Amino acid sequence: MKRESFRSRLGFLLVSAGCAIGIGNVWRFPYIAGKNGGGYFVLFYLLCLLVMGVPVLTMELAVGRASRRSAVLSYKTLEKPGQKWHIHGWFCLLGCYLLMMYYTTVSGWMVSYFGKFLTGAFHSGMSTDEVASAFGAMLSSPGEMALWAEVVVVAGFLVCSFGLQKGLERVTKVMMLCLLVLILVLAVHSLTLSGAAEGMKFYLVPSMDSIRENGFGSLVTDAMNQAFFTLSLGIAAMEIFGSYMSDEHTLPGEAVRICALDTFVALMAGTIIFPACFTFGVTPDNGPSLIFQTLPPVFINMAGGRFWGALFFLFMIFASFSTVLAVFENILAICMDTFGISRRKAVLINGILIAVLSLPCVFGYNIWSDFRPILGKDVLDSEDFLVSNLLLPIGSLVYLLFCVTKWGWGFDKYLAEANKGTGLRFARWLKPYFQWVLPILIVIILLQGL
């Protein structure tokens, strides 16, 4: 079967950035920044993204581009005879399934809230308690939650069924360009609010008060975590796009561009949220509830609040759905490559499978609310714990060791692949950093997560 490829470099960059840009940027980043007092956290986040995120991203892309295969077969193609690195490919597939088991549910929440603003279910005059209680009402309704989760599953696999160029690339390019326009419009609007100056000062101006309150170690660790997890590295979600890309451009250059787009969206999300929070007297560190319980009352109290609320959740849909499409494509590619089945058959099998596997997360908030499988966590948090705290850091460590040690593919082969083409290159003197410092940083993230 002929290997698919992207129609354009812009398509590769937008699809890859779309995979990285997700709920972690527009949901997690603002409240983690708020918890750490903004300022210094944002600086350390950018530094960690550069020294950790970019190198590990190039490793996933290098394995994909050198092998022209998906997760399992990429290792088999590059590993030495008798080695077992390819076993990690199966854990990558497991990680993608686990991620989509709850990501589709959360994406469904975005669709539901977009509909509520669009149809006027959220409107001016509602009390803060009324708006906040809508989230609990949605969680307690398995029918509503299942409906929107399955809409996301069906829509995602429908797009992917048209193939890489006609489906994933074409739809993601339009969606990502719309996302970038939406986020700029929302950010400009937020900067016109009365509390914008105070909010942006808190967000971007470094203050020693934040370090004194939260501790330097906590701030740096949170910055490392956010920089690492924002790119979804370790489960081959990026590796598959390396297998579709050309040899024209170096991987460090492409990785920097992907990270720049990802970071732009995260920073703009903060620009939307912090001015709004300071204008309406909302604390910006309200954790996961910020998006669904804290911000909707803020929107309905604005002039034209229904419009701005609908735009915000449309932006959230684009951010989450771009990740859904990218991970679905990875699942399909692994199934097509490894089992030799057609795209249509892979879509049908995996569409049914993920539609069913998404239901435990839906039911975990209502009919299975007493089911707490891991460390007393509910279903969604248990699934997220397995992916974010185990599979992503361990998977990234495996990719790293495979690329830079003599027991794997080897640093020289990795470096040659990474530097192939025109653009930014890694220097050979970085080898000790890649072999010794990076693994230690990833182990620190793993241990901190546990």
Q: What is the pLDDT of residues 246-303, one digit of tens each?
A: 899 999 999 999 999 988 988 898 898 888 888 887 776 666 667 787 778 878 877 8
Q: What are the helix (H) ranges across 205-244? A: 208-214, 216-229, 239-244
Tens digit of pLDDT for each residue in 101-135? Answer: 999 999 999 999 999 999 988 887 787 788 878 88
How many CB atoms are located within 10 Å of the residue 31 CB? 21
- 3-class DSSP assignment, residue 385: helix
Query: Could you tell me the CA-to-CA distances from 119 to 123, 126, 310 in Å, in that order?
Result: 9, 14, 9
DSSP 3-state of 170: helix
pLDDT given at position 289:
67
Radius of gyration of the chain (CA): 21
pLDDT at 1 over 70: no
Taking residues 368-384, what's their average pLDDT?
88
- pLDDT score recorded for residue 345: 97
- Mean pLDDT, the chain, rounded, equals 89
Q: Which structure tokens are listed for 134?
A: 């809508």
CA torsion angle 1 61 70 150 (round to 10) = -110
With 90 as the cut, is the pLDDT of residue 433 above it? Answer: yes
How much is the pLDDT for 286? 64
Distance between CA atoms of 221 and 444, rounded to whole angstroms?
9
Partner residues linked to 374 by β-bridges: 377
Q: In this predicted model, what pLDDT tens digit does every residue of 30-67 receive, in sequence order?
A: 878 887 887 888 888 899 899 999 999 999 999 999 99
Q: What is the reported pLDDT for 406? A: 92
pLDDT in the model for residue 20: 85
Give residue-wise pLDDT tens across range 194-210. Answer: 889 998 888 888 777 77
Phi, psi (deg, nearest 5) at residue 371: -85, 110
DSSP string, 7-30: S-HHHHHHHHHHHHSSHIIIIIHH
- How far is Cα of residue 360 from the mean position of the Cα atoms in its chain? 21
76 band by pLDDT with thresholds 50, 70 and 90: very high
Segment 319-325 mean pLDDT: 92
Tell me the whole-structure pTM to 2 decimals. 0.91
Condensed to tens digits (0 to 9), the pLDDT of residues 16-34 reads 988 888 877 777 788 788 8
Tally the C-alpha atoms within 13 A of residue 384's C-alpha that lie toward its C-beta.
16
